[in-house]
């Protein structure tokens, strides 16, 4: 089972009793610090950006070349199936209504990292997969890195969001 938030501490036990098997013990990570100071400095030759789902899928081979060089697969402990496709399927499950931003949304209220603000301002945030920031070479537009985060589909179904406006 992947992409399950274990915020209520007993949910893992409950899901195990229902017969679900954990995919990996360390997939869910709790970060106690609000920001990570080392991550605030991005190389000047790197541009952060976001892509619509169809463009991410179209660039699968390029993304997987990077992944295989680092992990052998999307997640280092998973050797069967098409994890990339599973991520894309999860993204496709999110209704377009969840991409609607409040009228007063200001990226500067959510980050002080200039590259992320530039990325948010330069794209249509209601048309891209915001769970997947991608690092591009500024000169070649080649993908040089990416973070694939999974949305909490239950939280979205409840109408909860991570932003406050």
Tens-digit pLDDT profile for residues 99-140: 777 788 888 888 888 888 888 888 888 889 988 899 999 999
Count of C-beta atoms within a 10 Å radius of residue 160: 10
CB atoms within 10 A of CB 108: 11
Enumerate residues 6+ apart whose C-beta is below 8 A from 78.
23, 24
CA distance 10 to 100: 33
pLDDT confidence tier of residue 27, bands split at 50, 70 and 90: very low
- pLDDT at position 141 is 92
Residue 57 has pLDDT above 70, yes or no: yes
pLDDT recorded at residue 58:
97
Q: How far apart are CA 129 and CA 147, in angstroms?
A: 11
Q: What is the C-alpha to C-alpha distance for residues 120 and 104, in angstroms, rounded to an integer?
A: 14
H helices of the chain, where?
Answer: 11-17, 53-58, 60-70, 83-93, 114-122, 153-157
Distance from first CA to last CA of the chain, Å, rounded? 32
Contact 118, 138 (CB under 8 A): no
Output the average pLDDT for the chain. Answer: 75
* Residue 46: half-sphere exposure toward Cβ, Cα within 13 Å: 16
- Compute the distance between CA of residue 159 and CA of residue 43 in angstroms, rounded to an integer: 36
Q: Report percent pLDDT > 90 for the chain.
A: 18
């Amino acid at each position: 089972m992947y992409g399950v938030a274990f915020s209520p501490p007993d949910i893992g036990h409950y899901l195990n009793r229902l017969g679900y098997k954990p995919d990996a013990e360390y997939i869910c990570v709790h970060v106690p610090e609000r920001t990570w100071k080392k991550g605030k400095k991005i190389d000047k030759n790197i541009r952060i950006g976001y892509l619509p789902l169809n463009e991410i899928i179209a660039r699968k081979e390029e993304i997987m070349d990077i992944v295989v060089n680092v992990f052998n697969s999307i997640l280092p402990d998973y050797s069967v199936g098409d994890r990339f496709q599973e991520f894309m399927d999860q993204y496709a499950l999110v209704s377009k209504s969840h991409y609607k931003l409040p009228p007063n949304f200001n990226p500067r209220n959510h980050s002080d990292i200039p590259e992320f603000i530039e990325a948010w301002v330069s794209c249509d945030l209601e048309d891209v997969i915001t769970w997947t920031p991608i690092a591009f070479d500024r000169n070649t537009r080649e993908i040089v890195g990416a973070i694939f985060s999974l949305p909490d589909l239950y939280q979205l179904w409840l109408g909860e969001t991570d932003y406050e406006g």
